[in-house]
Structure 1
Amino acid sequence: MSDKTMKTATLEEIREMDRRGELYHNPDAPEGPSLGADFWKDAELVYPEAKTPISLRVDKDVLDWFKAEGPGYQTRMNAVLRSFMEATRRNA
C-alpha cells in the first residue's frame, strides 16, 4: 500500500464520516486471498495480560476529555500511559 492510498483521520472525523454515510462495506468487493490450510497449524492462543485495578487521581478536565471520546476511555488512558512508558524506555 502506498502513501497515496493511506489517509489519516481523527476519531471525530471518522465519526462525522459515519454520520454522513461515507463509511460502508461494499458487498461486491472481491474476497481477500485465502490463508491456506497451514495458516493456523502453529497458532498459539495468547491472552492479554490481566489489568490491575487501581485508584488513580487525575485532573477532572483530563478525565472528562477521555470520557467524551466515548466508551473505552480507561483502555485509551492505559494506551497513553503505555506509549509514554515505552518512549521513556527507548530514550533511557
Structure 2
Amino acid sequence: MAIRNLWTKEELILAFNLYLKIPFGKMHSTNKDIIYLASLIGRTSNSVAIRLVNFASVDPALQARGVKGMDGNKNVVKPIWMSFFIIKKS
C-alpha cells in the first residue's frame, strides 16, 4: 500500500462517523470496523485508529471525563468536529 499522509475531507468525515459509533476503549487497529473502513479508504487500520483518537482529543464529553486522546493532529480533525457540533458556552 502506498504511503499517504494527507487525509481528504471525505476520509475525515467517514472516520468521524465511525468515531461516533465506537467506544473510546475500542479504538484500536484490530477492531473489525476500523479494519473495514481502512480497507475502504485505502489506509492502514493503525492510521484510522490514530485518527479516531485524534477526534477524541477534541471531544468535550471525553475531556470532561479526563480522557485526553491524541493531540498530535488536533488541528486536522477540529474543523470536521466543529462542522457537525456546536459547542455551547456557559
TM-score relative to the length of structure 1:
0.29
Task: Pick 1 or 2: higher relative contact order, CA cutoff 8 A, min separation 6.
Answer: 2
TM-score relative to the length of structure 2:
0.29
**Between Structure 1 and Structure 2, which shows a larger proportion of helix residues?**
2
Larger radius of gyration, structure 1 or 2? 1
